[in-house]
Amino acid sequence: MIQEDGTNIDTNQSEAKSGKVDPANAKEVRKFTHGEALTNCRLDPGGRFAFAGAEDFGVYRWNLETGEKVIYRGAHDSWVRRIDFSVDGDLLYTSGWDGRVVVWEVEPATIREVLLPGSDGGENSKEPVEGDIERKTELVVDKPVRVIEAHQGFSRWVHAGPNGKFVATCGNDKVIRLWDARRWKLKKEFAGHGRHPYAVMIHPDGESLISEDLMGEIFIWNSRTGERIKELKSGMTGYDNKFQADMGGARDMAFNADGSLVGCAGITNVVNSFAGQQDPIICLVDWKSQEIQSHLRTKSNSPGVAWGVRFHPDGFVVGAMGNQNGKGTIEFWSLTEEIAEDYSDAKKDSAGCEQADAAEVEEKKPRELKPFHVLDVDKAVRGIDFTEDGKRFVVACSDGSLRLYQM
């Protein structure tokens, strides 16, 4: 584990695998800083590095032990909204609002040390010329492995499949694309979304895809045939008065370890998305029944966006929230019956029994769950990711900070 002073202490692996963590003990132990707002974050499979996209079009890598910062730049011309890794952890995939997907090496052989403008005492320097001048440099990676023009308009998502053979992407051209991960040849296209798809993932079995669009519609596809085999209404939508259109959809998506559940984090009850007038929500889909199982609500019901969702190894769900007031929360939900707080509005008669009329039998509504623990953050949280053992996690914040927590 990493202490507040940055010292690394080895943790017994068997204890990490079997010991239950208590979210109430979560504590920020380190903060990495950047000058522009971060858009998302991921930990590499080895747990050594934290990566984050930013609004200045760069991708940033921090070493969790040393704090060393490396900049991946020059390939994107807009925000980087999604990060993923090859199965072996050697390659980094980034997708941006420039329509591109870029492939990088996680640990490049060449990292250049670049002198920052104005730090050499020259005519453009703001430092005094007399005396010793501190040379300020940054570590830069500017040669990607490959650049793919993946979509017209925004390329909103990139996800590497579990067997390492395929990568899925989606964008503002309303198309889901499946690529050969080795040669980046297009293998198949999936069309049918009426609005921009925001997220797509390959199921751990490799046989199916799941995607969600701006209307909150969730599609499940056969990855071999391209057939759409299921359509779900997630409830993640609302009428935006500014855009005069329905808006919503997932801002993040994740499977649990065995693929039996998928979480979609985003917004609902949209009134004006630019003004932050919408409610955060996480929608859980049961893969076996292919139905909406639960809606996870925030404790405070504050307007905002659910920017991230992860399934913790101990079985609970974790969400990252950015609220309308500029602050954020990290919220924890239990799915076990004895702990979960069910806020469903089940109608009961005077005897306390549910009124099982024909309308209720016809459509089973998802459970409405509230979190069992909330961790307040002083800035909006835009992404979250956990180490494999679930003991540590990082969050990306709107002030440009990447924060490391220990549980």
Write out pLDDT tens, residues 177-215.
999 999 999 999 999 998 889 999 999 999 999 999 988
Rounded distance between C-alpha atoms, residue 209 and residue 178, angstroms: 10
What SS3 state is found at 359? helix
Task: Classify residue 107: in a domain, yes or no.
Answer: no
pLDDT score for 92: 96
Find the CATH number of the domain harbouring 309.
Answer: 2.130.10.10
Task: Classify residue 275: in a domain, yes or no.
Answer: yes
The total number of structural domains that make up the chain? 1
Task: Classify residue 334: in a domain, yes or no.
Answer: yes
Residue 310, both tokens: 């992860």
pLDDT score for 110: 87
pLDDT score for 324: 86
Task: Classify residue 159: in a domain, yes or no.
Answer: no
Task: Classify residue 126: in a domain, yes or no.
Answer: no
pLDDT score for 348: 38
Asked if 397 contacts 379 with a C-beta cutoff of 8 angstroms, the reply is yes
Q: Is 123 left (phi over 0), alpha (psi -120 to 50) or beta?
A: alpha
Task: Classify residue 337: in a domain, yes or no.
Answer: yes
pTM of the model: 0.85
pLDDT score for 115: 86
Q: Beta-carbon neighbour count of residue 258 at 10 Å?
A: 10
Q: Which helix (H) or strand (E) holds 298?
A: none
Task: Classify residue 27: in a domain, yes or no.
Answer: no
Domain span holding position 267: 236-407
Beta strands (DSSP E) in 47-204 are: 49-54, 59-63, 69-72, 80-85, 91-96, 100-105, 112-115, 137-141, 146-149, 155-160, 166-171, 175-180, 186-191, 197-202
Q: Which residues of the chain have pLDDT under 70?
A: 1-19, 118-135, 274-276, 337-363
pLDDT score for 276: 65
pLDDT score for 19: 67
The DSSP secondary-structure symbol of 378 reads S
Give the long-range contacts of residues 132-140, CB within 8 A, separation 24 or more: 137/113, 138/69, 138/71, 138/113, 138/114, 139/68, 139/69, 139/70, 139/71, 139/111, 139/112, 139/113, 139/114, 140/70, 140/71, 140/73, 140/111, 140/112, 140/113, 140/114
Task: Classify residue 17: in a domain, yes or no.
Answer: no
Half-sphere exposure of 8 (CA within 13 A, CB side): 8
pLDDT score for 5: 38
pLDDT score for 360: 44
pLDDT score for 286: 97
* Distances from the Cα of 368 to the Cα of 143, 210, 294, 343, 389, angstroms: 47, 22, 6, 5, 28
pLDDT score for 228: 96
Which residues have CB under 8 Å from 322's CB, separation 6+?
A: 304, 305, 307, 328, 380, 381, 382, 398
